[in-house]
A and B are shown apart, each in its own frame.
Chain A
Amino acid sequence: EVQLVESGGGLVNPGGSLRLSCAASGFTFSNAWMSWVRQAPGKGLEWIGRMKSKTDGGSTDYPAPVKGRFTISRDDSKNTLYLQMNSLKTEDTAVYYCITQGYSTSKGSFDYWGQGILVTVSS
Chain B
Amino acid sequence: QSALTQPRSVSGSPGQSVTISCTGTSSDVGGYNYVSWYQQHPGKAPKLMIYDVGERPSGVPDRFSGSKSGNTASLTISGLQAEDEADYYCCSYAGSYTYVFGTGTEVTVL
Residues on A close to B: CB < 8 A?
Answer: 35, 37, 44-47, 50, 61, 63-64, 97, 104-111, 113-116
Whether, in the assembled complex, B101 has its beta carbon less than 8 Å from a beta carbon of chain A, the answer is yes
Q: Give which listed residue, A45, A50, A105, A116, contacts B55 with CB less than 8 A.
A: A105
Residues on B close to A: CB < 8 A?
Answer: 1, 3, 32-36, 38, 45-48, 51-52, 55, 57-58, 89, 91, 93, 96-104
Cβ–Cβ < 8 Å partners of B46 in chain A: 37, 45, 97, 110, 113
Cβ–Cβ < 8 Å partners of B97 in chain A: 50, 61
* Residue among B35, B45, B46 with the highest chain A CB neighbour number at 10 A: B45
Give the distance to chain A from B71, nearest Cβ to Cβ, in Å: 17
Cβ–Cβ < 8 Å partners of B47 in chain A: 113
* Residue among B35, B48, B57, B91 with the highest chain A CB neighbour number at 10 A: B48
Cβ–Cβ < 8 Å partners of B102 in chain A: 44
Question: Is B52 a contact of A108 with CB atoms below 8 Å?
Answer: yes
Query: What are 8 contact pairs spanning A and B, CB under 8 A?
Result: A45-B91, A47-B91, A64-B1, A108-B35, A109-B51, A110-B46, A111-B57, A113-B46
